[in-house]
Amino acid sequence: MIAFIFDDRLPHDRKIQFQRMISLIKGKFDIEVLPSSFDENDLIEHLKQNDYSLVLLPWYKYLSWKKIDGHFGALRMERTSVAGYFADPILAFEFGQMPSFYRNLLLDFHRFESHDIDFMLQMLTHPDERNGFSILGMNTPVFHAQWMQKDARSTHCIDEILSLPVFSQTPWEARLSHFRFFLTGLWTLVMPEIKLHPQQFSGSQVAGVEIEIAEFQKRVAIKALFKNPNFTLKHTMEWMWPNTENAHPSFTEMQAHCDFMKLHHYPETQQIELTCFFLKDHPSRHFPNEVRGFWIEPRQVQTLKKHETHLKRVSVKSFLAHQNKKKAA
């Protein structure tokens, strides 16, 4: 069940539109709408008597109510999630300073269509579908590539990925430059560390960076899995926060070109799983100055890839080599 508090600060016309959207979502999820008059203590008392898989709050309450996350256990890696949402345009300066949470979940209920909101809520309310590509259906093709320490040129590695058929099809061909900027940002985030400090990555479960690409339900998702002892949860949260002087330029570049970013940090193995979604309606392309949703939280390493065993992965290099043979024939 989802506990939901309506944003009563929305303008009248947006309230009507948002209420319609919530009505559509309630047809697919068990949602209890709590009084907008609830303050933080009221909500905590209510939560003591009721169990929810997800608590959804207006973004300004999510950022200012410090006790809610602690009620469920600030250091938890599973169980109930608490998320903020925004249902009208938000600019970075409105968020203020990053709160001292161990996770940040902010969802875009303004630019996302109801089916995309359904998708996000499905991941949040089903533990088996939170990680990486675990939500994808069994028949979804997943392309796999690796960026290794020996890979000297980002252009070649990125060109290989962008040679996949999905990036030459409508509507994604129009966003080819966005994908290239995004992948360049990912390369500059991860690869310099691997090349400068290779000894830190010896014995890693991930030799360099594992990249996976999937197209499903009118979305494209790109996932990166890598190990970096220097990327703590606190650092990544600061780097991804929209209004901070510590924002990492590579994260900023990536956020500018994708529509939703999900980062899971595995402290036991110092691994990071970054999954980014590109939506058919292109909100990042049409509204570049607005904040988009993002999801950062720690996870138990046992969950890593645990629920992805049903997926069939195809090597990007093998696929492209097969395609070239077919053309030559």
- Which span out of 26-30, 109-113, 158-162, 298-302 was modeled with the highest average pLDDT? 158-162
CATH code, 2-129? 3.40.50.2300
pLDDT of residue 73 exceeding 70, the answer is yes
Does residue 57 surpass a pLDDT of 80? Answer: yes
The SS3 of residue 2 is strand
Tokens 């703590």 sit on residue: 232
Percent of the chain with pLDDT over 90: 25
Lowest mean pLDDT among 33-42, 109-118, 150-159, 248-257: 150-159
- Dist CA 272 CA 173 (whole Å): 29
Q: What is the pLDDT of residues 192-235, one digit of tens each?
A: 665 555 555 554 444 578 899 998 888 999 999 988 777 788 87
The structure tokens listed for 253 are 């570049």
Is residue 262 over pLDDT 70?
yes
Per-residue pLDDT averaged across 283-307, rounded? Answer: 78
Q: What pLDDT score was predicted for residue 170? A: 81
- Domain range summary for the chain, segments of one domain joined by +: 2-129, 141-328
State the Cα–Cα distance between residues 61 and 59, nearest whole angstrom: 5
Burial of 221 (0-12, 13-18, 19+ CB in 10 A): buried
Residue whose C-alpha is closest to residue 62's, from 84, 90, 47: 84
- Running DSSP on this structure, what letter comes out for residue 229? T
CB under 8 A, 24+ apart: contacts of 229-238: 229/200, 229/270, 230/193, 230/197, 230/200, 231/265, 231/270, 231/272, 232/265, 233/102, 233/265, 233/267, 233/296, 233/298, 236/263, 236/265, 236/272, 236/296, 237/98, 237/101, 237/104, 237/296, 238/98
Q: Which CATH architecture has domain 141-328?
A: 2-Layer Sandwich (3.30)
What pTM did the predictor assign?
Answer: 0.87
**Mean pLDDT of the region 127-150:** 81
Of 83-92, 105-114, 167-176, 244-253, minimum mean pLDDT range: 244-253
Q: Which residue has the higher pLDDT, 33 or 207?
A: 33
Show the tokens assigned to 61. Answer: 């309450």
Q: Average model confidence (pLDDT) for the chain?
A: 83
Three-class SS state of 107: strand
